Homo-oligomer: A and B are copies of this chain.
Amino acid sequence: MPHLVVLYTGNLDKLTDMNTLCRSLADAMLSVKDEAGAQVFPTGGTRVLAYPAPYYAVADGGAAGKAAGGDGDYAFMYLNLRMARGRSAATQKRAGDAVLAAVRERIDPLMKERHIGVTINVDEGAEVFDAKHSTIHSLFKKP
């Protein structure tokens, strides 16, 4: 934890650089602080994975978008952040807001030209088993 998984319609690949967006999203997550001012997400445990869907269908398939003067090729991005249990509602909101701000910085300019939907959900992990095994975490341990 945390994992941010980004699922999106593949037509966005030609409109924006997803590796850059992933990095912006990771940086946004790393910037989140709790009420005491401490970093919420451990650096070594912060991960963003983005998946373009090769096949998709959105809304009415394009008719309304064309009628409004667009190309009818709707795009959609769904961002799901799964974070560990036990954080305050205020911290969860700060995490969601940070992700939203990072997405908007990149997507808002595209929205002026195109019909795009973005949804962000933050889920509190409810797993019944959790195991971590890593050679990344120790890189960021304070001595």
Contact = CB atoms under 8 A, between A and B. Distances in A.
B115 A135 contact: yes
A120 B111 contact: no
| Chain A interface, >50% SS class | mixed
B7 A7 contact: no
A137 B115 CA distance: 9
A33 B78 CA distance: 24
A107 B132 CA distance: 13
Interface of A: 1, 3, 5-9, 18-19, 21-23, 25-26, 30, 43-61, 64-65, 68, 74, 76, 78, 81, 89, 92-93, 95-97, 100, 103-104, 107, 111, 114-137, 139-140
Q: How many copies does the complex hold?
A: 3
Contacts of A76: 47, 49, 136
B18 A119 contact: no
26 contacts: A3-B119, A18-B54, A19-B55, A21-B55, A22-B56, A26-B61, A43-B59, A43-B64, A49-B76, A50-B53, A51-B54, A59-B139, A74-B136, A93-B129, A95-B129, A96-B131, A104-B133, A114-B135, A118-B132, A118-B134, A119-B132, A120-B129, A120-B130, A123-B126, A123-B127, A124-B128
